[in-house]
């Protein structure tokens, strides 16, 4: 395992009052001492004012540094954190000086990776660090923080402990197979298995909502050309992101933007109107629209209810204006645009970007449709926020199902133990107890440098 000194800017580059540079690894204090002439490794965790200099002795800045001797540090290694002035000049110079003094630029996520390898965080907590940094709305931060605090980890560890107990009881059965009902009644083993299976199931139920909260729900605006999709997109975002004109076929590409509807994270997508087209670029845009529609968590199907001329009749079947039917059918909310033009009453939520009519009702309807079960998040049960979690627990569920039959009276205890062992492995994979390097590669692929 590499523990060479690594260094990175922990704050975003650019104009700012302060920047933080983080240094970690074996020999970190020697590296720091070459850049901070007055460097003292003790006392730990106290900030000290000092001059930072190039190895040639030129002044870079005066700032603060804090020493965290391992293992009582974020990475578990010796760590020094420097606060210097921000901006484009000072932090890169400080980084360059620390590199000249013997540190290597860190890879993306390398600090957190070392924290995992040194047992400071488990994998679920490491993922939560990334989620907390990426959070855009408070509910995402709450869920990430709960996971970072170990909520999901504790649940998984408890389930694993029950399975290990089950394995231990099964071991008696393997050793004394000739006894009628085994030394432990099979019904007791089955109760234990079913209890864990039930808890796995309860966690799996949280996955769709939790993944939606973490990534934002994909909400796609769809409908015929010129119906007012881009206008509605802009109005819902509160900013002029998409071009609006009276010419049908204005939007040719899909535009995605992050929004917050009643506190819930939404990825709103404006698309090219689906309809008959002879323009090659428009046709490509329509293909793109269809791809988004297939992945959508919710479609806002827009029609102008007969008010606006060009297309947009609500009688058109939802999404059915497209040449081929879509393979999957996400839920649809019908929206009648341009209500200020006096459209006839009909199905769907009437909105107008001119008067603002219906916009709040639409936001509410979207949030309600997508995050209805989300109100129970208040008590913050552990949740499966990633596909990786879901896949691991689905594996555990399969193994536990496989164990049911051999666990029944007279069944094969060795086979039962094999399945239970598989379930234990699935849980280990989740918290990062096995094949750690490979799993880490996958987890940290999306991290930014300095985390």
Interface residue list for Mg ion (CB under 5 A) = 229-230, 250-251
Q: Which does 269 bind (CB under 5 to 8 A by kind): Mg ion, ligand GTP, none?
A: none
**Which of 70, 273, 305, 382: binder of ligand GTP (CB under 6 A)?**
273
Q: Which one of ligand GTP, Mg ion, none interacts with residue 341, CB within 5 to 8 A by kind? A: ligand GTP
Q: How far is the CB of 142 from ligand GTP (least distance, A)?
A: 35
User: Per-residue DSSP letters for 242-260?
Assistant: S---SSTT---S-EEEEEE
Name the β-bridge partners of 24: 6, 79
> Taking CB under 6 A as the criterion, which residues in 160-189 touch ligand GTP?
none
Cβ 442 to ligand GTP shortest distance, Å: 39
Q: How far is it, in rounded angstroms, from Cα 208 to Cα 212?
A: 6
CA–CA distance, 239 with 120 (Å, rounded to integer): 43
Question: In the bound complex, what is the minimum distance in angstroms from residue 340's beta carbon to ligand GTP?
Answer: 5
Site for ligand GTP in 226-245 (CB under 6 A): 226-231, 244-245
Quick note: the x/- pattern for ligand GTP over 197-226, rule CB under 6 A, is ----------------------------xx
Query: What are the residues whose beta carbons fall under 8 Å from the beta carbon of 69, sequence distance 6 or more?
Result: 41, 44, 78
| 246 forms part of the interface with ligand GTP (CB under 6 A) | yes
52, 71, 66, 65: which is closest to 3 by C-alpha? 71
- Residue indicated by tokens 């990776």: 113
Pick from 249, 265, 348, 358: which binds ligand GTP (CB under 6 A)?
Answer: 249
Interface with ligand GTP, residue 348, by CB under 6 A = no
Minimum Å distance from CB 223 to Mg ion?
Answer: 9
Q: Does residue 340 interact with ligand GTP by CB under 6 A?
A: yes
> Is position 338 an interface residue for ligand GTP (rule: CB under 6 A)?
yes
Q: DSSP string of 90-107?
A: HHHHHHHHHHHTT-EEPP
Asked if residue 277 binds ligand GTP (CB under 6 A), the reply is no
Binder of residue 246, out of ligand GTP, Mg ion, none (CB less than 5 to 8 A by kind)? ligand GTP
125 interacts with, out of ligand GTP, Mg ion, none, CB within 5 to 8 A per kind: none
Cα-trace Rg, the chain? 28
Q: How far is the CB of 217 from ligand GTP (least distance, A)?
A: 21
Q: Which is nearer to ligand GTP, 216 or 249 (CB)?
A: 249
* Residues of the chain by 3-state class (helix, strand, coil), percent to 5: 45, 15, 40
Q: Is 316 in the site for ligand GTP (CB under 6 A)?
A: no
Part in contact with ligand GTP (CB under 6 A); list of ranges 202-210, 346-354, 382-390, 394-402: 346-354
Report the alpha-carbon distance of residue 311 to residue 31 in Å, rounded.
68
Identify which of residues 133 and 359 has a Cβ nearer to ligand GTP in the complex.
Answer: 359
Please enumerate in sequence order all residues whose Cβ is within 8 A of that of 81, keeping only pairs 6 or more positions apart, or say none. Answer: 10, 20, 21, 22, 23, 65, 66, 68
- CB burial of residue 162 (10 Å; 0-12, 13-18, 19+): middle
Question: Should residue 352 be labelled a site residue for ligand GTP when binding is judged by CB under 6 A?
Answer: yes
Q: Quote the Cα angle for 444-449-451, to 5°.
A: 70
Considering beta carbons, is residue 3 or 230 the nearer one to Mg ion? 230
Measured over the CA atoms of residue 212, residue 215, residue 217 and residue 218, the dihedral's sign is: negative
Contact (Cβ atoms closer than 8 angstroms) between residue 393 and residue 211: no
Contact 292, 271 (CB under 8 A): yes
Is residue 256 within the footprint of ligand GTP (CB under 6 A)? no
* Residue 432 binding ligand GTP, by CB under 6 A: no
Contacting residues toward ligand GTP, per CB under 6 A: 225-231, 244-246, 248-251, 272-273, 337-338, 340-341, 352-354
């Amino acid at each position: 395992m590499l523990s060479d000194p690594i260094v990175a800017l922990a704050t975003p580059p650019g104009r700012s009052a302060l920047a933080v540079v983080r240094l970690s690894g074996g020999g970190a204090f020697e590296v720091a001492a070459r850049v901070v002439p007055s460097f003292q490794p003790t006392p730990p965790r106290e900030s000290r004012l000092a001059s930072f200099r190039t190895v040639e002795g030129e002044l870079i800045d005066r700032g603060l540094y804090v020493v965290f001797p391992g293992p009582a540090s974020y990475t578990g290694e010796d760590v020094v954190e420097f606060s210097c002035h921000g901006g484009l000049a000072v932090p890169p110079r400080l980084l360059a000086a620390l590199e000249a003094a013997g540190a290597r630029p860190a890879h993306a996520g390398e600090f957190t990776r070392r924290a995992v390898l040194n047992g400071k965080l488990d994998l679920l907590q490491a993922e939560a660090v990334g989620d907390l940094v990426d959070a855009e709305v408070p509910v995402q931060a709450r869920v990430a923080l709960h996971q970072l605090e170990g909520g999901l980890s504790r649940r998984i560890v408890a389930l694993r402990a029950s399975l290990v107990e089950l394995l231990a009881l099964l071991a008696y059965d393997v050793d004394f197979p000739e006894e009628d009902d085994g030394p432990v009644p099979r019904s007791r083993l089955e109760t234990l298995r079913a209890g864990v299976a039930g808890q796995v199931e309860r966690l799996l139920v949280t996955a769709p909502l939790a993944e939606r909260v973490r990534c934002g729900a994909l909400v796609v605006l769809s409908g015929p050309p010129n119906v007012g999709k881009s206008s509605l997109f802009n109005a819902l975002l509160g900013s002029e992101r998409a071009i609006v004109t009276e010419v049908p076929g204005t939007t040719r590409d899909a535009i995605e933007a992050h929004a917050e509807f009643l506190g819930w994270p939404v990825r709103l997508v404006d698309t090219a109107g689906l309809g008959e087209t002879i323009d090659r670029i428009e046709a490509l845009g329509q293909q793109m629209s269809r791809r988004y529609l297939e992945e959508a968590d919710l479609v806002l199907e827009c029609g102008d209810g007969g008010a606006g001329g060009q297309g947009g009749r609500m009688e058109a079947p939802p999404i059915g204006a497209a040449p081929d039917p879509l393979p999957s059918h996400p839920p649809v909310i019908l929206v009648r645009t341009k209500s200020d033009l006096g459209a006839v009453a009909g199905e769907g939520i009437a909105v107008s970007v001119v008067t603002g009519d219906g916009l709040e009702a639409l936001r509410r309807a979207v949030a309600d449709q997508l995050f209805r079960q989300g109100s129970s998040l208040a008590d913050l049960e552990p949740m499966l926020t990633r596909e990786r979690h879901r896949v691991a627990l689905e594996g555990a569920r399969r193994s536990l199902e496989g164990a049911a039959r051999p666990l029944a009276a007279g069944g094969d205890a060795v086979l039962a133990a094999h399945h239970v062992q598989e379930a234990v492995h699935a849980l280990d994979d989740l918290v990062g107890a096995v094949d750690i390097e490979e799993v880490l590669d996958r987890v940290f692929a999306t991290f930014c440098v300095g985390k």
